[in-house]
Amino acid sequence: MKKTVTALADGRELIYYDSRDDTVRDAVDRRPLEPVATTSGIRHDPLLGDSVAVASHRQGRTYHPPPGECPLCPTDTAGGRHSEIPDSDYDVAVFENRFPSLAGDAGRCEVVCFTSDHDASFADLTEERAGLVLDAWTDRTAELAELPQVEQVFCFENRGPEIGVTLGHPHGQIYAYPFVTPRTERMSRSAAGHREATGRNLFDDVLARERAGGRVVLEGEHWVGFVPYAAHWPYEVHLYPLRRVPDLRGLTEAARAEFPSLYLELLRRFDRIFGEGEPPTPYIAAWHQAPFRAPGREDFALHLELFTIRRTSGKLKFLAGSESGMDVFINDVPPETAAERLREVASA
């Protein structure tokens, strides 16, 4: 992997990740951009104990641009179209979000472009390119961990307009939070309580139970993917490395090498769940990583959570009264049924 760090016209950082070591990235962003001005701030909810990012400047972010004006496509200098990527082509590119939810002392937000092909998806990537994305996620986790205001790094992808995606180009995001997220705090508390009660690691025990529970979807030498016993979403898979590590930086070379094939197969199965002729399955793919400075870090287990909000053909799972009002999920698809379906649609 070759990493090239440069800057956009307004000073935001842009990083190219290339498979070839001899790749040269010297294109210059010539857009007349003003420096980014953000209003991001973090407010604490005293009743729930969580934090809310308030970012009114995001109201002006790019929203479903017309054909030919995608800001994540490569720049076409001859055609007069300039984008966030000054070069005419790229493998993987990461840049600071121009409309960040978190900025300055309130954290940092980055955009990860998986490919220059506007009409592709992550599932269309080669194993080599998917491995390069994993390298980019890992590198950004390592660098953002060094920022004094950052407590946790979240790499994720939203796919599909049903999820709320406003740019169709295949991309994901990275949020570097200045606090530990509520979801991670809850998992960490559960792990600490389990350790105190049993002397064992909660994630290890959950993984052992799931591997024996009939809901395994796919398994390799270094990773296993399963539908969890108490899945919140109609189709939800958790992908764990078999050797527990707290974040992406801890993966072994063998685990890194195996990940692309298993993850691509999982994504392709998601696109086949509802049968031929269905539009691409909307999903969220979320990496859960340990906070950098919180107690119990070594007890946390890196894992990826992949789920769709589509519950059956043509129908979405909406978060209604119980889910949105009380945070109590009601799942229409038994996890065992979901696991069986995801095994049925395996690649031939």
> Can you give the pLDDT at residue 22?
96
Domain 2-177 class in CATH: alpha beta
Q: How far apart, in Å, are the Cα atoms of 39 and each of 45, 57, 117, 179, 315?
A: 19, 6, 33, 18, 37
Inter-residue contact 309 to 162 (CB < 8 Å): yes
Catalytic residue among 171, 194, 222, 303: 171
Give the pLDDT score at 58.
83
Q: What pLDDT shows up at residue 48?
A: 93
The CATH 3.30.428.10 domain(s) of the chain lie at: 2-177, 186-344
pLDDT at 68: 86
Q: Which CATH superfamily is domain 186-344 in?
A: HIT-like (3.30.428.10)
User: Which residue type does 301 have?
Assistant: A
What does the pLDDT read at residue 66?
Answer: 86
pTM of the model: 0.96
Q: What DSSP string runs through 111-174?
A: EEE--S-TT--GGGS-HHHHHHHHHHHHHHHHHHTTSTT--EEEEEEEESGGGT----SSEEEE
Q: Which pLDDT score is estimated for 194?
A: 98
Rounded to the nearest 10 degrees, what angle do helices 202-211 and 182-198 cross at? Answer: 90
Mean pLDDT per 10-residue section of the chain, whose length is 348 residues: 97 97 95 86 92 84 84 90 96 96 93 97 98 98 97 97 94 97 97 98 98 96 98 98 98 98 98 92 98 94 98 94 95 97 94
Tokens of 328: 């109590």
Q: What is the pLDDT of residue 33?
A: 93
Q: Establish whether 232 is a catalytic residue.
A: no
